[in-house]
């Protein structure tokens, strides 16, 4: 059975004090052991703070992005080596906001995925469709294209050291949530794409759901057979609610 993973994406919120408080609060909540793997992904300035606070606790830390470059004249970018050096374990790549607001295409996302792994980080590859694409019944076309782009660049074996997060764009920060059945259908589709390449990797990879996950709906969503946890947004900014999602 696959272990569950709940990762909190804090987006551009927080402060040093909040980072210390949230990480310490989660560590205290799960001092006797966590029911799943737990990761928090604060903004870049607070990553070192989070990594220090998470030492010798069940909490791990991830970055919200990573450069596809290892070093050089790339002002404003942060390399996988830098993230690994301070203690990060995960790096989110291809989040819908990076794709839409920063124009990141499938090729760049694939390069970031490879760069993260090159430095020992586990990439959390985000894929998902817009409301217009869902209503046009293009969900599998869009999600399939996004997954296949990374498959073509990195190869199926790379997915043995990765996580996928399905995040329907129409359900991010809107209060709308895919039904458990809708989430399961897309997760099963993603797993099927990988199974066509390598059944063992497909069976073992974690596929998370991201899209207005909260304590009230987490258990129902996580009960689906191909949903292996969540990529949680706003609900990860408060210890009690995030801990409740982890327990679900």
- Residues marked as catalytic: 95, 167
Partners of 9 in the β-ladder: 41
Between CA 114 and CA 158 the distance in angstroms is: 8
Tell me which long-range contacts 180-185 makes (C-beta under 8 A, separation of at least 24): 180/220, 180/221, 180/223, 180/224, 180/227, 181/224, 183/209, 183/211, 183/221, 183/224, 183/227, 184/224, 184/225, 184/226, 184/227
Q: What token pair was written down for 28? A: 């205290």
- The sign one gets for the Cα dihedral 132, 133, 136, 139 is negative
Query: What 3-state DSSP class applies to 34?
Result: coil
Cβ atoms within 10 Å of 21's Cβ, excluding its own: 14
Give, in order, the Cα–Cα distances in Å from 221 to each of 11, 18, 104, 192: 22, 28, 29, 19
Between CA 42 and CA 40 the distance in angstroms is: 6
């Amino acid at each position: 059975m696959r272990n569950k993973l709940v990762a909190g994406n804090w987006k551009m919120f927080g402060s040093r004090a909040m980072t210390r408080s949230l990480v310490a609060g989660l560590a205290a909540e799960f001092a006797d052991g966590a029911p799943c793997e737990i990761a928090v992904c604060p903004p870049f300035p607070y990553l070192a703070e989070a990594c220090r606070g998470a030492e010798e606790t069940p909490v791990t830390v991830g970055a919200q992005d990573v450069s596809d470059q290892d070093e050089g004249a790339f002002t404003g970018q942060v390399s996988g080596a830098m993230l690994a050096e301070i203690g990060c374990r995960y790096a989110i790549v291809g989040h819908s906001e990076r794709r839409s607001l920063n124009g990141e295409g499938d090729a760049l996302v694939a390069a970031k995925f490879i760069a993260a792994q090159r430095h020992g980080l586990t990439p959390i590859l985000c894929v998902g469709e817009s409301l217009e694409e869902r209503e046009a019944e293009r969900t599998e076309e869009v999600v399939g294209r996004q997954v296949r782009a990374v498959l073509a660049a990195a190869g199926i074996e790379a997915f043995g050291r990765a996580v996928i997060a399905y995040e329907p764009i129409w359900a991010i920060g809107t209060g709308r949530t895919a039904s458990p059945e809708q989430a399961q259908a897309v997760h099963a589709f993603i797993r099927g794409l990988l199974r066509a390449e390598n059944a063992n990797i497909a069976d073992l990879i974690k596929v998370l759901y991201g899209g207005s996950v909260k304590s009230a709906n987490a258990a129902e969503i996580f009960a689906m057979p191909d949903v292996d946890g969540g990529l949680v947004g706003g609900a990860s900014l408060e210890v009690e609610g995030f801990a409740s999602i982890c327990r679900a």
